[in-house]
Amino acid sequence: MIDYLIVGSGLAGISFSEMALKHHKSILVLDNYSQNSSRIAGGLYNPVILKRFSEVWCAQEQLVLMESFYSVIGEKLKIQFDFKKPILRKFFSIEEQNNWFTASDKEALSPFLSPNIITTQFSGIYSPYNYGEVLHTGYIDTALLLEKYRAYLMEHNLFLCESFDYDSLVIHNEGVSYKDIQAKNIIFAEGFGMHANPFFNHLPLDGTKGELFIIKAPQLNLDVIINTSVFILPLGGDLFKVGATYNWKDKTDLPTEEGKQELIDRIKEIITCDFEIVEHFAGVRPTVKDRRPLVGTHSEHNSMHILNGLGTRGVMLGPAMAKALFENIEKGIPLDTVININRFKPKKQ
C-alpha cells in the first residue's frame, strides 16, 4: 500500500509530490495531460498586486518557502528553471508615480517596492515617466519544470499516464483502492478538471481563461520583466512571452481571435517597435471567487483530499499549500480557515 495516490501533475500535483517524497512517503502520480494551465503559465512570482498596490496574501512566507523548495528540485533534476529578474512597473503619468511612492511607504509593501524610480530607457519602449521596481521577483519556467519532474517520476516508476476513472475508486477504512492500486490517501490536484470530480465538484472553482503570446522583437532590448496591463518577459534570442488575458466565460483552452487582438492592442500600448507573433496559446486557470486556494479533506471521507484553486499565482502558492495540506494530514496541524474547503458547504443531495 502506498501513502499517496496523486491525481494531477500540474504545479499543485508536483508540489505535493515533492513534499511527500521529501518526507519519505511513497507516492504514485496519475495524469492524462488534459489540463495545460500550469504548463503555459507566465510563471511570474511577484509579492505585490500592482493593479491595486496591495500585498499578496502571505507573500513573505510564500517567497521564503518557494525559494528553498524550487532550489532543492533544481538540484535534484540538475536543471535551472528559477530565474531571478526584476519586475518593472511602467508609469503612464506623474499620478502613477505618486501612487507608487505612497504604496512604498506602507509597512506591508515597503519590503517589496523600491522607493527609487528606475530611469533606464529600453530600446523599443517609450517611457517618459520611467518605472517602479518590484523586489524579490522573477519567473519559473513552468513548462521545463513540469516536463523534467514528470520525467523524474516516470524514471522511478511513480507516474501513470492515463485518465482517472472515478467509478473505479473504492473507499474503505484503510484508505482507497483504485483498480489494482491501494493507497492510504488520495490527493486530487486536477486544476479546472475538478468539475468532473463527483467528490469535490460542489466547490466554486471558477476557471479563468488566459491567452498568451511568444513574440519575436529584435529591436526590443529588454533584460527585465515589464508589467503594466500585460507582462513582457524576455526569454532570450529576441523572444518574449507576453500575457495575459482574462476571460471568465470561455472555458476552453483554444486560442481566440478576440484574445489575439486584445493582446496585440495592449502590446502596442507599451512597445514602439515591430514584433512577430511566434506562438499563441491559451489555458484555463483554476481560480476561486474569493481568491483563495481550495485545500482540505472531504467531509465524509478522511482519506480523500484536494489541492486546487492556485489561480494566477500558482508558482508562489503551490509549495506553501502543499506543505499546509501535508502537515494537516500527517501531523493534524489545522489548515488556515481562509484556504480550508470547509468554508464552502456541500450542496444537499
Looking at residue 347, its pLDDT comes to 53
The count of other CB atoms within 10 Å of the CB of residue 285 is 22
Q: Which amino acid is at 298?
A: H
Q: Could you tell me the pLDDT band of residue 349, with boundaries at 50, 70 and 90?
A: very low
Q: Could you tell me the pLDDT band of residue 83, with boundaries at 50, 70 and 90?
A: very high
Helix 314-331 to helix 11-22 angle (10° resolution) is 40
Q: Could you tell me the pLDDT band of residue 316, with boundaries at 50, 70 and 90?
A: very high
Q: What is the distance between the alpha carbons of residues 298 and 131, in angstroms, rounded to a whole number?
A: 47
pLDDT digits (tens, 9 = 90+) for 25-40: 999 999 998 887 888 8
Contact 38, 189 (CB under 8 A): no
Q: Which residues pair with 54 in a beta bridge?
A: 49
13 vs 312, residue with greater confidence: 13
Region 71-80 average pLDDT = 97
Looking at residue 346, its pLDDT comes to 59
Question: Are 2-43+143-204+289-343 and 86-136+208-285 equal in CATH topology?
Answer: no
Tell whether the model's pLDDT for residue 325 goes beyond 90: yes
pLDDT digits (tens, 9 = 90+) for 92-141: 999 999 999 999 999 999 999 999 999 999 999 999 999 999 999 999 99
Query: Which residue is listed with cell 489548515?
Result: 335
Domain ranges (residues) in the chain: 2-43+143-204+289-343, 86-136+208-285
> First and final CA of the chain: distance in angstroms?
33
Q: What is the distance between the alpha carbons of residues 47 and 318, in angstroms, rounded to a whole number?
A: 14
CATH architecture of 2-43+143-204+289-343: 3-Layer(bba) Sandwich (3.50)
Looking at residue 52, its pLDDT comes to 81
Instruction: Count Cα atoms within 13 angstroms, Cβ side, for 287.
Output: 19
Region 205-219 average pLDDT = 94
Q: What is the distance between the alpha carbons of residues 309 and 169, in angstroms, rounded to a whole number?
A: 23
Region 173-200 average pLDDT = 96
pTM value is 0.94
Region 78-97 average pLDDT = 95
Q: Which CATH code of 3.30.9.10, 2.130.10.10, 3.40.50.150, 1.10.10.350 fits the domain covering 86-136+208-285?
A: 3.30.9.10
Looking at residue 54, its pLDDT comes to 87
